[in-house]
Amino acid sequence: MASDDRQQPQQLNTGGGAFVRGNVHTGGGDFVGKDSVKSVVHGSVGHLSVGTTGAGAAGSSDDVSVAGFQKALADFVEQLQRAELSPGLKRSVVEDVETVTSQTQEDEPDTDLIIHKVDSISQLLGRMAGTVTSLTGLAEVAHQLVGWATQLFR
């Protein structure tokens, strides 16, 4: 009789999450391990309603508009002023935020410039948050601004 080299199944409790043995090739798509939260966008650039759907979504809807985005940018600058950054770096980021704010006030904003500037700020603060832990919250806000900018100006 031939021996059975297969392993016996193991009991595994993921708490509802996925278990994958081996590699996952998504072909560029998303791999969802447990909850999938997707933004649902309705409206125009001037006024956008953004909510979430999917497992784990709170079911609430935030009202994101250009005015709301501009307020978030102003709040971000206030937080930035209190951050542990060199004066030159703060000035540079504030100038980028001012450029973004100015563009959002245009009749025909340069959407690529807006998204590029906000993404650049997010990447910079994200890298710095790895070494300056007080920047973690600021980096998270910058990341959220990228999401909103993409929804508003794409």
pLDDT (average), residues 60-67? 65
Task: Return the higher-pLDDT residue of 126 and 7.
Answer: 126
Task: Return the higher-pLDDT residue of 137 and 94.
Answer: 94
The least confident of 3-17, 70-84, 122-136 is 3-17
What digits encode the pLDDT tens for the residues 73-109? Answer: 999 999 999 888 889 999 999 999 999 999 999 999 9
- pTM of the entire structure? 0.59
* Residue burial 6-44, b: 16+ Cβ < 10 Å; e: rest: eeeeeeeeeeeeeeeeeeeeeeeeeeeeeeeeeeeeeee
Maximum distance among all Cα pairs of the chain, rounded to whole angstroms: 80
Strand extents, DSSP E, 31-75: 38-43, 47-53, 61-65
d(Cα 1, Cα 111) in Å, to the nearest integer?
Answer: 70
